[in-house]
Structure 1
Amino acid sequence: MSISYQLDQLHQRVKANIWLRYFAVFNRVGLAAGFLPSGFVKIMGERFTSLSVNHPMGHYLEALHLTGYYYTFIGVIQVIAAILLLIPRTATLGAVLYFPVILNICILSIAVRFEGSLITSPLMVLANLYLLCWDYDRLKLILPFKHTGAPTGISQQPIIRSTRFPIAFFSGVAAAVVVLVLLLTNGYDIMPRNTLADCQRQCKDNSSARACQVFCNCIHQKGQSLNQALDGYHRALRMKFTQ
């Protein structure tokens, strides 16, 4: 039995469940709500956040804002992807268009440790992946599987709707969200935060307060990159332990 046929069977069972269908609708609305405001801000030519240009994410957003119509283009793409998601007939196209944009935002947020989207963007990536899997029947031809199909034709089988609540699936979703949040909120030794005051506030509970202050000053006062600030932080830590 081919992988393609097994995936077809699994996908048919999933799409027959009413709760998983509701979850797909929920993800579409949630993802659309995430892109519409930010997209319109870009189309209007306004700066997306009030972050200082000294902040690592502020560096990027300020440069992006100054790119002219490229900045507007990103906003247009976000709005189009959001609208396509809300229309049932174009939801698949919306999910495909949405994915590279949100994946880029996710990687960017993690790379610069931007807490504004550090948690939400990975969750949005997962939601987008769910929608792409939901539309597997429309996207499967681009996957590197041999599409032989079932001898009797799985698409010809009658779809039996199920109202059984998928406890295992939603338990897995909840567990994935909890693990992701814990990893992202506890996976870094230090965070730049959004302002100097917020950054310095974490130094009070830090066993290396001086090194923490060095890091915050490098980010918010000197405008150094995240890597430069981390180098200064680690140098200060080494000096502490060698004294």
Structure 2
Amino acid sequence: MNISAKLDQLHLQARGNKWLYIFAIFLRFALAFGFITSGMVKVWGERFTVLPVSHPMGNYLEALFHTGYYYTVIGVMQVTAAVLLLFPRTALLGAVIYFPIILNICILSLSVRFEGSFVSSPLMVFANLYLLCWYYHKWKYILPINRPSVENELPQWKDLSSKFPFKFFAGSFGAVAMVFLVFFYGYDIMPRNTTRDCLSQCEDSPNPQACRDFCDCIHKQGQPLKKCLDAYHVALPE
């Protein structure tokens, strides 16, 4: 059995499960809601956040806000992707448009350690990947691999299995847990959203004064995150 046939078999098994079918519908609407709410803010020409420009993410979003119609276009694309996800016939196109946008948001959130989307954006990337896999039968023809000559029809709702996929949801729970573990324990210090929140980390820091200096560097001096992190790490005891 070649790679294409194995992928087809796995995809057919997934599409034949009622729980995974319902999960795909849930993810479509959940992702759509996430982008409609955030996208419409940009379409209306409003600021996306109240973070000060001294904050790394606030600085980025403020600059993005002042790009004019580019800011609006991002909102339009987010809303377009969200609306397309709501309808089965256009859901794949919505997922394709959605993916590069949410991947960019995820990378941005991790790079500046922004807790506002540090957890949600990676989970949305996983959800988007699930939908792309769910519609594998529609886009698989662009892959440079051999395909079987006979195509299998997808099962209808009445033919779906009601067996609960424990392994899949256990793996999904593990992925969610991994994201939370990275958020809480993956970084030695976070800029957080306010000076007060940032300072709340300092009690457990190996060098509380270095932690306070880091918070001051971010929230009062408005220095780049890397510069503040470098100063913090130099001050830590060896």
Place the TM-score, normalised by the shorter chain, in its bin: over 0.9
| Alignment of 1:128 onto 2:128 | yes
CA contact (8 A) 1:215 1:229 kept: yes
Q: Residue type matched to 2:79 in 1?
A: V
TM-score (norm 2): 0.95
* Identical positions, percent: 58
CA distance in 1, matches of 2:187, 2:9: 41
Does 33-42 or 173-182 show the bigger shift? Answer: 173-182
1:63 aligns with 2:69: no
User: Quick one: structure 1 residues 52 and 146, their matched pair in 2 at CA, closer, same or farther if it must change by over 3 Å?
Assistant: same
What SS class does the counterpart of residue 22 from structure 1 fall into?
helix
Give the aligned partner of residue 26 of structure 1: 26
Residues 93 and 156 (structure 1), Cα distance of their counterparts in 2 relative to 1, 3 Å cut: closer
After superposing on structure 2, the runs of 4+ consecutive aligned residues of structure 1 that deviate more than 6 Å are none
| Runs of 5+ consecutive residues of structure 1 not aligned to the other structure | none
**Residue in structure 2 matched with residue 179 of structure 1 by the alignment:** 178
Q: Aligned AA for 1:124?
A: M
> 2:111 corresponds to which residue?
111
Q: 1:158 to 1:50 in 2, by over 3 A?
A: closer
Hey, what does 1:201 align to over in structure 2? 200
Match of 2:224 in 1: 225
**How many Å apart are 1:91 and its aligned residue?**
0.3
Q: Which amino acid aligns with 1:113?
A: R
TM-score of the superposed pair, with normalisation by structure 1: 0.93
Matching residue of 1:81: 81
Aligned to 1:155: 152
C-alpha separation in 1, matches of 2:235 and 2:175: 36
For residue 173 of structure 1, what is the amino acid of its counterpart? Answer: S
| Post-superposition offset of 1:158 | 6.5
CA distance in 1, matches of 2:124, 2:153: 34
Does the aligned pair in 2 maintain the 1:214–1:236 contact within 8 Å? no
Whole-Å Cα distance in 2 between the matches of residues 122 and 131 of structure 1?
14
- 1:49 equivalent in structure 2: 49
> What one-letter code is carried by the residue in structure 2 that aligns with 1:71?
Y
Q: The residue matched to 2:223 in structure 1 has which SS?
A: coil
Alignment length (residue pairs) = 236
Q: Deviations over 1:141-199 (max 9, x none)?
A: 1223222x15xx24258664211111111111111111221122210000000011111
CA gap of 1:14–1:201, structure 2 versus 1, over 3 A, is same
Establish whether residue 142 from structure 1 lines up as the match of residue 139 from structure 2.
Answer: no
State how far apart, in whole Å, the 2-side matches of 1:15 and 1:225 are.
47
| 1:236 has 2:235 as partner | yes
Aligned amino acid, residue 27 of structure 1: L
RMSD, aligned CA: 1.4
- Rate the CA distance shift 1:156–1:175 in 2: closer, same or farther, 3 A: closer
Counterpart-to-counterpart distance in 1, 2:153 and 2:164: 25
